[in-house]
């Protein structure tokens, strides 16, 4: 039996060069699933994404997904892509095993925590405050500093400094994605690391999210950052998506 990809639409080309196309996965012309391949909206046309890949239940565990993924890689090479990425749901162990077997390696994971209505209490002598214009300029560059100096942060974003006993020890940037709070950047200053301030920064993020009426909070954790993974798990975060990638030779 031969497994092939058959386009269900013309190749979609955006003005910025982005490409996208949906396909049926077929076995001897019989549809058994679907796949959506596109170029990365941020990384550009050199990076492809398998945004969706599904095989119908009766045809699973027969290698259809493996062949479909390999065929998608060939299409991506034809587009001129040098790397391909695939998101895998956190609970989809078979899909994670398949991606790993095909040579994909973890890049990061998206972790999520559902929030209640009561904000966490920060440790004694620790407090969060809005970031000043000078701090924003030094940390994030002129664009954010200009917005803050005008008296507001970009819509849905908050830039904060964590102080402990009056001394700045870390920074937090909290945004919004898909209606949920999202930790865009969190960092403890080098002299104050390994003292629990990272946990306090994450508690500050939760408190700000709850104050803004968000019911959940997410963050991306780079692959191999074991301390961040352990901290997030200890705070009740769960992995909802793994992002894996593969170089296209």
Q: Is the pLDDT of residue 108 over 90?
A: yes
pLDDT-derived band at 150 (thresholds 50, 70, 90) equals very low
Task: Give 185-214 pLDDT, tens digit per residue.
Answer: 999 999 999 999 999 999 999 999 999 999
Which residue from 38, 43, 45 is spatially nearest to 86, judged by alpha carbons? 38
The mean pLDDT of 104-109, rounded to a whole number, is: 95
Beta-strand (E) ranges in the chain?
3-7, 12-13, 19-27, 30-40, 44-55, 83-89, 105-114, 126-130, 158-164, 167-177, 180-188, 216-222, 238-247
Which pair of structure tokens corresponds to residue 94? 């078979």
Residue 143's pLDDT is 53
Dihedral, CA of residue 228, residue 231, residue 233 and residue 235, to nearest 10 = -140
Residue 155's pLDDT is 62
Residue 140's pLDDT is 75
Q: How many CB atoms lie within 10 A of CB 129?
A: 11
The mean pLDDT of 204-228, rounded to a whole number, is: 95
The per-residue pLDDT of the chain, averaged, comes to: 91
The mean pLDDT of 213-223, rounded to a whole number, is: 95
Q: Is the pLDDT of residue 149 over 50?
A: no
Residue 188's pLDDT is 96
The mean pLDDT of 155-174, rounded to a whole number, is: 92
Report, in angstroms and rounded to the nearest whole number, the Rg of the chain calculated over CA atoms: 22
* Residue 19 to residue 39: CA distance in whole angstroms: 5
Which residue from 191, 184, 207 is spatially nearest to 199, judged by alpha carbons? 207
Which residue from 100, 97, 33 is spatially nearest to 65, judged by alpha carbons? 33
Residue 5's pLDDT is 96
The mean pLDDT of 66-89, rounded to a whole number, is: 96
Q: Is the pLDDT of residue 25 over 90?
A: yes
Which percentage of the chain shows pLDDT scores above 70?
A: 94
The mean pLDDT of 226-242, rounded to a whole number, is: 95
Domains of the chain: 3-81 (3.40.630.30), 116-214 (3.40.630.30)
Can you give the pTM of this predicted structure? 0.83
Residue 151's pLDDT is 43
The mean pLDDT of 62-75, rounded to a whole number, is: 95
């Amino acid at each position: 039996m031969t497994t092939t990809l058959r386009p269900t639409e013309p190749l979609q080309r955006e003005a910025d060069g982005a490409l996208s196309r949906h396909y049926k996965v077929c076995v001897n012309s019989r549809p058994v699933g679907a796949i959506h391949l596109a170029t990365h909206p941020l990384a550009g046309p050199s990076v492809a994404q398998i945004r969706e890949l599904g095989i119908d239940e009766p045809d699973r565990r027969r290698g259809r997904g493996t062949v479909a993924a390999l065929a998608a890689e060939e299409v991506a090479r034809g587009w001129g892509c040098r790397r391909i990425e695939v998101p895998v749901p956190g609970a989809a162990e078979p899909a994670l095993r398949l991606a790993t077997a095909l040579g994909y390696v973890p890049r990061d994971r998206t972790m999520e925590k559902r929030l209640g209505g009561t904000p966490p209490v920060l440790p004694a002598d620790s407090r969060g405050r809005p970031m000043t214009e000078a701090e924003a300029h030094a940390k994030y560059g002129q664009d954010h500093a200009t917005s803050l100096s005008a008296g507001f942060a970009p819509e849905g974003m908050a830039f904060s400094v964590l102080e402990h006993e009056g001394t700045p020890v870390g920074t937090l940037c909290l945004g919004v994605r898909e209606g949920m709070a999202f930790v865009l950047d969190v960092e403890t200053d080098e002299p104050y690391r390994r003292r629990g301030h990272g946990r306090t920064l994450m508690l500050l993020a939760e408190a700000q999210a709850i104050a803004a009426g968000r019911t959940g909070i997410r963050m991306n954790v780079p692959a191999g950052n074991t301390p961040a993974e352990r901290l997030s798990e200890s705070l009740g975060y769960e992995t909802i998506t793994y992002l894996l990638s593969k170089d296209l030779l």
